Amino acid sequence: MARRSFLRYAGAGVAGAGLLAITSSCHKDNQNPTVGIDIGAKGDLAILNYAYALEQLEAAFYINVAAHMYTGATPDEIALLTDIRDHEVAHREFFKAALGTNAIATLTPNFSAIDFTSRAKVLAAAQAFEDTGVTAYNGAGYLIQSATYLTLAGKIVSVEARHASYIRNLLSPGSFADTTVLDANGMDKQQTIAQVLPIANTYLTTKVSASNYGYVAV
Amino acid sequence: MNLSGIIEEIEKVDPEFQDRISPRRAAIKNITSFGSKVAVAAMPFAFSTLFKKAYGQTTTTSVNDVLNFALKLEYLEAAFYNAGVASSLAFSTSEKAYLQTIKGHENAHVAFLQGILGSAAVAQSTQGTNGTYDFTAGGTFPTVFSSVDTFFAVAQAFEDTGVRAYKGQAPNLLGNQVVLTAALNIHSVEARHASAVRQIRRARGAATTKPWITGANDTGIPAVNGNYAGEDNVLQGGVTITSLAGVSGNVAVNAATEAFDEPLTSAQVVVLVAPFGVK
């Protein structure tokens, strides 16, 4: 077993991050139309593009929700779901602006699996997006090399968690942080890029890969 | 997780691994018992410790400082919810259920951080007066345990401030897969709590209170202005959020401030929680 493998296995973060940094010098998007889009070479630009992809998906989802509000939505639900839409659009546009010419292309979502007329279906999808978003940001935090970008990711993830708490309580009062998302230590869980992107890709026509982080869309 | 299997793997590539650890097997034994006593989720921390022991890296005090800072805040929150749940405050059934959930998490966070820090953990008895806090903050919130509304106002300030405090520490843990990830996993739970407490306050009639923070101090309580200072920021990483395209026109100021929670430094947080007895 090579030492490198051991580092990954034992989760020795500092040493691991050092190894990753070696490969982070140049960034090129692999935008192969037959495969989709790749977030690029290891490094902060890839992580920002990963976040940009997820925020594009969330923004598109809530734009749809707000434009075709489900049957029986209360004024309070309409107001707060519209707020969430605006937050996700702000996140999306922030990443687009921050990445500039390094940004991946605009993704085409596919929400055909979601019945936007159904409160239960829409909120269940929203809950999945928000909870997954939290695990995605939490899991990618240690990969970020810039303190500024790490703080920015922190500024966004707590807002995603606020959304998750609200959506969960709409579906099931009191479930804002229940044992289906938290562990026995009362902590959220993290997911890797390779765990999150396959979930996101089920709602994307443009498939997103992270070949340098162990995931290629099929 | 198969601990002995991993150690065997290490020994295959590093036959001297055992000798690097002092006192040899005892260190591993300690870590094993640590793991069984605390929780499986704490095991990566044990590996971090083991790794440092084996390969000569010294434990950085800054990480322990961050963890103890977090522990002090969790002590405060846990004591607050323990007292609230035990009080005679007339909570509704659903409010009580929310509080029981949050109370459980804060106590779990205390146990988790104590487990990681081990003997380096700050003792709860060093806080307040022999471990007892002043939740009126020196008379600022005299009705904290006689008015449900005041109780939730203080709860909201604690949760929102907790989110800001964890966020502010993230750069101190840059690149640290194990500790940073754990801190982030607590940070987002505090945000879920903050949102939930805000939802309770909204349902109780604080109609302008949303699950997210709008501008600087949206609580209507001037005494907590400092807890929300800077939350009205619209400049993120050199990008002015209100200059970006929204759904119709540019992103509105309220949405721009709500979409990004702001950090606080430990020095800022210490000033805010000192009146309660956090030291």
Is B253 part of a structural domain of the chain? no
Interface contact B236-A157, CB threshold 8 A? no
Interface test with A, best of B192, B198, B208 (most A CBs within 10 A): B192
The answer to whether B17 faces chain A, any CB pair under 8 Å, is: no
B136-157: burial string, b at 16+ Cβ within 10 Å, e else = bbeeebeebbeebebbbbbbbb
Whether the per-residue pLDDT at A2 is higher than 50: the answer is no
Q: Measured between CA atoms, how close is B268 to chain A, in angstroms?
A: 16
List of chain B residues whose C-beta atoms are within 8 Å of the C-beta of residue A187: 41, 108-109, 112, 182, 185-186, 189
Say if residue B89 is in the same domain as residue B185.
yes
Q: Please give, one letter per residue, the 3-state secondary structure of A121-183.
A: HHHHHHHHHHHHHHHHHHHHHHHCCCHHHHHHHHHHHHHHHHHHHHHHHHHCCCCCCCCCCCC
- Main-chain phi, psi angles of B236, to 5 degrees: -120, 115
Task: State whether B45 and B147 are in the same domain.
Answer: no
State mean pLDDT over B189-208: 96
Can you give the three-state secondary structure of chain B, one letter per residue? CCHHHHHHHHHHHCCCHHHHCCCCHHHHHHHHHHHHHCCHHHHHHHHHHHHHHHHCCCCCHHHHHHHHHHHHHHHHHHHHHHHHHHCCCCCCHHHHHHHHHHHHHHHHHHHHHHHHHHHHCCCHHHCCECCECCCCCCCCCCCCCCCHHHHHHHHHHHHHHHHHHHHHHHHHHCCCHHHHHHHHHHHHHHHHHHHHHHHHHHHCCCCCCCCCCCCCCCCCCHHHHHHHCCCCCCEECCEEHHHCECCCCECCHHHHHHCCCCCCCHHHHHHHHHHHCCC
Contact B217, B227 (CB under 8 A): yes
Alpha-carbon distance of A55 to A136, in angstroms, equals 11
**Hey, which residues 88-127 in chain A have their CB within 8 Å of chain B?**
88-91, 93-94, 97-98
Containing structural domain, residue B29: 3-55
In a domain, B21, yes or no: yes
Residues B205 and B92 occupy one common structural domain: yes
Q: Which of B6, B185, B241 sits opposite A187 (nearest CB)?
A: B185
**In the structure, what pLDDT confidence band is assigned to residue B215 with cuts at 50, 70 and 90?**
very high
What is the mean predicted confidence (pLDDT) over B110-135?
A: 97
Chain B hits for A165, CB-CB cut-off 8 Å, are 191-196, 199, 211
**Regarding predicted confidence, which is higher, A9 or B8?**
B8
Selected residues 87-146 of chain B with any CB under 8 Å from a CB in chain A = 94, 97-98, 101-102, 104-109, 111-112
Query: Are both B213 and B191 inside the same structural domain?
Result: yes
Q: Tell me the CB-side half-sphere exposure of residue A163, using CA atoms within 13 A.
A: 32
Instruction: Say whether both B163 and B209 belong to one domain.
Output: yes
- Given a cut of 60, whether residue A208 has pLDDT beyond it is yes
Give the model's pLDDT for residue A218.
87
> Are B11 and B89 contained in the same domain?
no
> Is residue B236 domain-resident?
no
Q: What is the DSSP string of A61-100?
A: HHHHHHHTPPTT--HHHHHHHHHHHHHHHHHHHHHHHHHG
pLDDT at B61 over 80: no
The mean-pLDDT minimum among A31-45, B34-48, B146-160 falls in B34-48
Q: Looking at the structure, tell me whether residues B147 and B270 fall in a common domain.
A: yes
Q: Is the bond leading into B23 cis (omega within 30 degrees of zero)? A: yes
Same domain, B79 and B20: no
pLDDT in tens, A49-96: 999 999 999 999 999 999 999 999 999 999 999 999 999 999 999 999
State the smallest CA–CA distance between residue B138 and chain A in angstroms. 30
Considering only A189-198, B28-37, B87-96, B234-243, which range has the smallest mean pLDDT?
A: B28-37
A27: nearest Cα among A44, A4, A12: A44
Query: What ipTM does the predicted assembly reach?
Result: 0.86
- Which amino acid would we find at residue B87? S
| Stronger pLDDT, B74 or B39, i.e. the higher one | B74
Q: What is the DSSP letter of A213?
A: G
Residue B58 has pLDDT above 90, yes or no: no
Phi/psi at B240 (5° precision): -85, 110
What does the pLDDT average to over B136-163? 98
Contact criterion met (CB < 8 Å) for B106 and A154: no
**Residue-level pLDDT at B26:** 40
List beta partners, residue A5.
none
**Residues B125-134, mean pLDDT to the nearest whole number:** 98
Average pLDDT over every residue of B196-213: 96
Q: Same domain for B108 and B179?
A: yes
As beta bridge partners, residue A204 has A109
Question: What per-residue confidence (pLDDT) applies to B37?
Answer: 43
* Model confidence pLDDT, tens digit, residues A102-134: 999 999 999 999 999 999 999 999 999 999 999
Task: Judge: B10–A6 Cβ closer than 8 Å, yes or no.
Answer: yes
Report d(CA A7, CA A16) in Å as an integer.
Answer: 6
Lowest mean pLDDT among A4-8, B214-218, B270-274: A4-8
Does any domain span residue B246? no
In chain A, where the domains are located: 3-213
Q: Which residues pair with A61 in a beta bridge?
A: none
Domains contained in chain B, number: 2
- Of B74, B3, B59, nearest to B32 by C-alpha is B3
- CATH fold for domain A3-213: Ferritin (1.20.1260)
Mean pLDDT over B27-32 rounds to: 40
* pLDDT of amino acid B270: 97
Residue of B nearest to A140 (CA): B181
Candidates B177, B199, B233, partner chain A, best to mutate (most A CBs within 10 A): B177
Query: What residues in B contact A9, CB-CB < 8 Å?
Result: 6, 9
Beta bridge partners of A109: A204
Q: How many CA atoms does the CB half-sphere of A214 hold within 13 Å?
A: 8
B153 in the same domain as B136: yes
Q: Alpha-carbon distance B135 to B84, whole Å? A: 10
Average pLDDT rounded to a whole number, residues B101-126 = 98
Decide if B175 and A17 are in contact by the 8 Å CB cutoff.
yes
pLDDT of A35 reads: 54
Task: Look at the block and give the residue holding tokens 């989720």.
Answer: B41
With bands split at pLDDT 50, 70 and 90, how would you rate the model's confidence at B130? very high
Q: Identify from A152, A181, A187 which residue to disrupt to test chain B contact, counting B C-beta atoms within 10 A and taking the largest count.
A: A187
What pLDDT, on the 0 to 100 scale, is given for residue B23?
39
If you ran DSSP here, which 8-state letter would residue A109 be given? B
> From the list B94, B199, B259, which residue is nearest A91 (CB)?
B259
A26 touches B: beta carbon within 8 Å: no
Residues A127-156 pLDDT 10s: 999 999 999 999 999 999 999 999 999 999
The verdict on residue B7 lying in a domain is yes
Question: What does chain A come to in residues?
Answer: 218
Query: What CATH number is attached to the domain comprising B221?
Result: 1.20.1260
B140 and B187 in one domain?
Answer: yes
Tens digit of each residue's pLDDT (9 = 90 or more) over B155-189: 999 999 999 999 999 999 999 999 999 999 999 99
Q: Is the pLDDT of residue B139 over 50?
A: yes
Residue B241 lies in a domain: no
Question: What average pLDDT does the segment B81-90 reach?
Answer: 98
Give the residue-averaged pLDDT of B56-60: 46
Among candidate residues B55, B78, B94, the one where a domain is terminated: B55
Query: Which has the minimum average pLDDT: A162-171, B40-49, B173-182?
Result: B40-49
pLDDT digits (tens, 9 = 90+) for A68-78: 999 999 999 99
**B265: closest chain A residue by CA:** A151
- My answer on whether B44 and B69 are in the same domain is no
Q: Over 80: is that where the pLDDT of B34 sits? A: no
| Percent over 70 (pLDDT), chain A | 84
pLDDT: which is higher, B237 or B8: B237
In percent, how much of chain A has pLDDT > 90?
83
Model pLDDT, residue B47 = 55
Task: Give the per-residue pLDDT at B207.
Answer: 87
> Per the CB < 8 Å rule, is B261 touching A155?
yes
Separation between Cα atoms, residue A179 and residue B56, nearest integer Å: 38
pLDDT of res. B20: 46
**What residue type is B137 in one-letter code?**
A
Whether residue B151 lies inside any domain: the answer is: yes
Whether residue A15 has pLDDT greater than 70: no
Any A CB within 8 A of B86 CB: no
For residue B49, pLDDT over 90 is answered with no
Window 125-164 of A: residues touching B by CB (8 A cutoff) are 134, 137-139, 141-142, 144-145, 147-152, 154-164
What span, in angstroms and rounded, lies between the C-alpha atoms of B30 and B18? 14
